[in-house]
């Protein structure tokens, strides 16, 4: 049997609870010096077709290790839970910042409504003064005709002229009030836009903090068996774990592969028939 022929290990997989098994494989080999076929014993190592090292992506203390060597796990199972008080505090702080930004927006929207109401009030007052001015101008013009005809005294015309001047001044003040109210509306709108931008920033920061906080749970990436463990509860871990070791190693062993090491002296090039 050629050394590169596929090795069926299904029976071993069903009876073994480990992912790495060392065996001796009997292989018929012919060397260049000795063309006759000989049977030699070579070590073969079985490996799972998938292997991953689980490491911490944040710094924290190990709260719970949910699995141990030899245990089967399924994809998405939480294997290690970290305790990271700083991340929890950051999430709570970001939540408060978001609440404050939303409250700021609510206040700004209220200020917009108040400023708009004031603007509407000043515009109405301005219209009233304009109507009053039209009346006073009409009275002044009528008195002016009557004074020229001697029907009324000059003092009544002077009073009418003074009334027109007073209403004109009131209109000027109303125009100033309208300008101030429009400025208040603009300022309130700008403040609301600033508050909305603050909300977006707070949401982004909260989302980032939540994503970081979710890294406290280290999950199995696929179905498999835990083959290595180098962490215990209470241990401080970080992305640069102690001695560079992973927290856990998970391997998928439903399908295994055999790795056969052949010394150079025993290797011969495969024939076209064996390649097929």
Provide the pLDDT confidence category of residue 89 given band limits of 50, 70 and 90.
Answer: confident
Q: Which of 26-30, 246-250, 267-271 has the highest mean pLDDT?
A: 246-250
Domains annotated on the chain, with CATH: 10-84+218-275 (2.40.50.100), 86-214 (1.10.287.620)
| pLDDT, tens digit, 9 for 90 and up, residues 153-205 | 888 888 888 988 998 999 999 999 999 999 999 999 999 999 999 999 999 99
Q: What is the pLDDT of residues 105-139, one digit of tens each?
A: 999 999 999 999 999 999 999 999 899 989 989 98
The DSSP line for the chain is --TTS----HHHHHH---S-EEEEEEEEE--SS--S-EEEEEEEEEEEEEEEEE--SS-EEEEEE---TT-EE-TT-EEEEEE-HHHHHHHHHHHHHHHHHHHHHHHHHHHHHHHHHHHHHHHHHHHHHHHHHHHHHHHHHHHHHHHHHTSS-HHHHHHHHHHHHHHHHHHHHHHHHHHHHHHHHHHHHHHHHHHHHHHHHHHHHHHHHHHHHHTTEEE-SSSEEEEEE---TT-EE-SS-GGG--SEEEEEEEEEEEEE---GGG--PPPHHHH-
């Amino acid at each position: 049997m050629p050394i590169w022929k596929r090795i069926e290990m299904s029976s071993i997989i069903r009876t073994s609870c480990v992912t790495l098994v060392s065996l001796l494989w009997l292989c018929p080999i012919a060397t260049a010096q000795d063309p006759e076929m000989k049977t030699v014993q070579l070590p073969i190592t079985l490996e799972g077709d998938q292997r991953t090292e689980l490491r911490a992506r944040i710094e924290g203390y190990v709260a719970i290790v949910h699995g141990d060597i030899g245990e089967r796990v399924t994809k998405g199972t939480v294997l290690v839970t970290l305790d990271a008080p700083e991340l929890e505090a950051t999430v709570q702080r970001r939540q408060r910042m978001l609440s404050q930004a939303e409250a700021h927006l609510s206040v700004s929207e209220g200020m917009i409504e108040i400023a708009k109401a004031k603007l509407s009030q000043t515009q109405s007052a301005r219209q009233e003064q304009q109507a009053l001015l039209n009346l006073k101008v009409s009275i002044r013009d009528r008195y002016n005709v009557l004074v020229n005809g001697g029907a009324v005294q000059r003092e009544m015309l002077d009073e009418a002229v003074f009334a027109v001047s007073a209403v004109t001044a009131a209109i000027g003040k109303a125009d100033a009030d309208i300008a101030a109210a429009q400025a208040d509306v603009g300022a309130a709108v700008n403040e609301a836009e600033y508050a909305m931008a603050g909300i977006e920033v707070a949401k982004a920061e909260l989302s980032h903090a939540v994503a970081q906080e979710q890294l406290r749970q280290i999950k199995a990436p696929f179905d498999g068996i835990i083959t290595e463990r180098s962490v215990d509860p209470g241990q401080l871990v970080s992305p640069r774990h102690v001695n560079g070791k992973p927290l856990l190693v998970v391997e998928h062993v439903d399908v295994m592969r055999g790795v056969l090491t052949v010394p150079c002296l025993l290797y011969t090039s495969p024939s076209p028939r064996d390649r097929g």
